Structure 1
Amino acid sequence: MGKNAVVFHGTGGRPDVCWYPWLGRRLTERGYAVEIPHYPGLNVEPVEDFLPKVLAAHRFDEQTVLVGHSGGAALLLALLEHLEVRVAQAVLVAGYSTPPNSYEEPVLQKAYDWAAIRSHVRDLYVINSRQDPYGCDDRQGRAIFERLGGTQIVRDDGHFGDYDQPYDTFPLLDRLID
Structure 2
Amino acid sequence: MNAIIFHGTGPQASYDKFWYQPTAKTLRESGIATEVPELARLDREPLSDTLKEFDELGLPVDENTILIGHSAGVSVILALLERLQAPVKASYLVAGYCSPNGMGHAALKESYSWNTVKANAGECFMLNSFNDPFKCNQDKGIELFDHLGGTLILRNDGHFLQKQQPLLLKLIL
Range class of TM-score, shorter chain: over 0.9
User: Offset at 1:43?
Assistant: 0.5
Deviations 1:48-102, CA, capped at 9 Å, x for gaps? 232233234221111100100011112211111112221001100000011112x
Structure 2: distance between partners of 1:63 and 1:30:
15
In the alignment, is residue 97 of structure 1 matched against residue 98 of structure 2? yes
Q: Residue 15 of structure 1 aligns with which residue?
A: 15
Query: With structure 1 as the length reference, what TM-score do the two structures score?
Result: 0.91
Asked if the contact 2:6/2:36 (under 8 Å) is kept, the reply is yes
Equivalent position of 1:164 in the other structure: none
Runs of 4 or more off by more than 2 Å in structure 1? none
Please report how far the alpha carbon of residue 131 of structure 1 lies from its aligned counterpart in structure 2 after TM superposition.
1.2
TM-score (norm 2): 0.94
Secondary structure of the structure 1 residue equivalent to 2:89: strand
Aligned residues with identical type, % of pairs: 39
The separation in 1 between residues aligned to 2:79 and 2:72, in whole angstroms, is: 11
> Which blocks of at least 5 consecutive residues in structure 1 are unaligned?
162-166
Aligned residues: 170
Calculate the aligned-residue CA RMSD, in Å. Answer: 1.1
**Distance of 1:11 and 1:137 partners within structure 2:** 17
Q: Hey, what does 1:169 align to over in structure 2?
A: 164
| CA distance in structure 2 between the aligned counterparts of 1:122 and 1:56, rounded to whole angstroms | 24
Q: Which amino acid aligns with 2:39?
A: Y
How far apart are the structure 1 equivalents of 2:64 and 2:55? 16
Q: Which residue of 1 is the match for residue 155 of structure 2?
A: 155
> Aligned residue for 1:25?
25
